[in-house]
Amino acid sequence: MNWIGLWTVYKKEMQRTKRVLFQSIVSPVITTALYFIVFGSAIGSAIAVIDGVSYAQFIVPGLIMMALLQNSFSAASSGIYFPKWIGSIYEMLSAPLSYIEITAGYVLAATTRALLIGIIIYLVALFFTPLPVLHPFWALGFSILVSFVFAMFGFVVGLWANSFEQFNIIPTFVIAPLAFLGGVFYSISMLPPFWQTVTLFNPLVYMINGLRWAFFGITDVHPLWSAIVILIFMTILIGIIAWIFKTGYKLRK
């Protein structure tokens, strides 16, 4: 393992984050805080308590999870897409770096960025409502795992995309709708039985509920299923990334 090379890629990506600090860190935190204020005030006045937790508290894990997966995805996808777009990725591919080191550098940097945003959102939420964390190690571990996996997902999409239109398809038409329909702002037990069953096919339901269980001990799905779903997703992505670098798909002209 070329640790110096891996660190160089990671450091380059973190410096890119610092150069666009408002866009990469401040903007998503403000957006999430606005979600919290608007939904917590508007809907919270009508829904006082869900499973023994105030509505303002209930939505925080979902908002944190939504921020984690969206920002880890966007950081990794943009990080690899733009070097491919301008052609500088070929310099990296010709450097003494293995595919594992290149992938790890981008993915770990995106994971770090997402976790920083998640921590800031948690601290901001504390100004509005108390937030006990019943299982802190699970909360931290699950946040890291989800951020890591969605950073890998973003890395794959960044390699796959040939245009800005393709680049924006997944976050706009897949991740955002699934996040909003994944129980960020409501418990799926509030839905009619048919839609409860349909919702269980949404993988983000398991991620959001995994973090909510870590916070409050309440969940719509067993936390073990949350871990299984994300590990299956990670295994699939590892296979896809290995295949991309082995075949040179979308990397070789």
Neighbour count for residue 122 (Cβ, 10 Å): 19
Range of the domain at 136: 3-247
Determine the straight-line distance between the first and last CA of the chain, rounded to whole angstroms. 28
pLDDT at 166: 80
Q: Give the Cα separation of 115 and 117 in Å (integer).
A: 5
Tens of pLDDT along 100-146? 888 889 999 999 999 999 999 998 888 888 888 999 999 999 999 99
* Contact call for residues 210 and 144 (beta carbons, < 8 A): no
Q: Residue 252: inside a domain, yes or no?
A: no
Neighbour count for residue 103 (Cβ, 10 Å): 25
Q: Give the Cα separation of 190 and 206 in Å (integer).
A: 16
Tens of pLDDT along 51-108? 788 888 898 999 999 999 999 999 999 888 877 777 667 677 677 778 888 888 999 9
The tokens describing 201, both together, are 């096919």
Q: Residue 56: inside a domain, yes or no?
A: yes
Q: Please provide the average confidence, as pLDDT, over all residues in the chain.
A: 86
- pLDDT band (50, 70, 90) for residue 252: low
Three-class secondary structure of residue 21 per DSSP: helix
Q: Residue 113: inside a domain, yes or no?
A: yes
What is the domain count for the chain?
Answer: 1
Burial of 124 (0-12, 13-18, 19+ CB in 10 A): middle
Q: Residue 48: inside a domain, yes or no?
A: yes
Q: Residue 253: inside a domain, yes or no?
A: no
The tokens describing 104, both together, are 């790890």
pLDDT at 149: 95
Q: Give the Cα separation of 36 and 73 in Å (integer).
A: 22
- pLDDT band (50, 70, 90) for residue 19: confident
Please state the pTM of the whole predicted model.
Answer: 0.89
Is residue 44 scored above 70 in pLDDT?
no
Q: Residue 215: inside a domain, yes or no?
A: yes
